[in-house]
């Protein structure tokens, strides 16, 4: 793992966009946060992102739709899904479609670090 690997966060919840970068910095990652999937897709961050922390439910394009769009564009970024809803069928589907992890909010720092370590082992 490169200590300055870029992790992008896409979540419509402002508190998540404010708190996760601090945690990622503690883990040694650079980060950038986006309030929507559309904002992320329009940014130059797509090409630089080495791991994506992605909310499942957002207005507009939801997390699973962004995963499909990235796959359609042949952009392979390890994805850690985060969500407030426990849904085993959705979790299984997202993992089958290539997601690295599926974390239920609120998740522990240790769970996020484990997911990040898995994401960077996949790369």
pTM: 0.94
Q: How confident is the model at residue 4 (pLDDT cuts 50, 70, 90)?
A: confident
Q: What ranges make up the beta strands (E) of the chain?
A: 6-10, 30-34, 51-55, 79-83, 101-104
- What local confidence, expressed as pLDDT, does residue 77 receive? 96
User: Residue 122's pLDDT is what?
Assistant: 65
* Pairwise CA distance, residues 118 & 81, whole Å: 13
Per-chain mean pLDDT for the chain: 94
Dump pLDDT digits (tens) for 84-111. 999 999 999 999 999 999 999 999 999 9
Q: Does residue 72 contact residue 50 with C-beta atoms inside 8 Å? A: no
Q: Encode pLDDT of 37-48 as tens digits.
A: 999 999 999 999
């Amino acid at each position: 793992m490169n200590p300055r690997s870029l992790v992008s966060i896409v979540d419509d919840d402002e508190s998540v966009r404010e708190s996760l970068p601090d945690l990622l910095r503690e883990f040694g990652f650079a980060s950038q946060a986006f309030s929507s999937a559309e904002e992320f897709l329009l940014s130059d961050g797509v090409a630089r992102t080495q791991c994506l922390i992605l909310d499942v439910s957002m207005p507009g394009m939801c997390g699973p739709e962004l995963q499909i769009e990235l796959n359609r564009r042949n952009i392979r970024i390890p994805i850690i899904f985060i969500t407030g809803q426990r849904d085993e069928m959705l979790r299984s589907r997202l993992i089958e479609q290539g997601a690295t992890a599926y974390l239920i909010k609120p998740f522990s720092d240790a769970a996020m670090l484990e997911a990040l370590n898995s994401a960077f082992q996949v790369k």
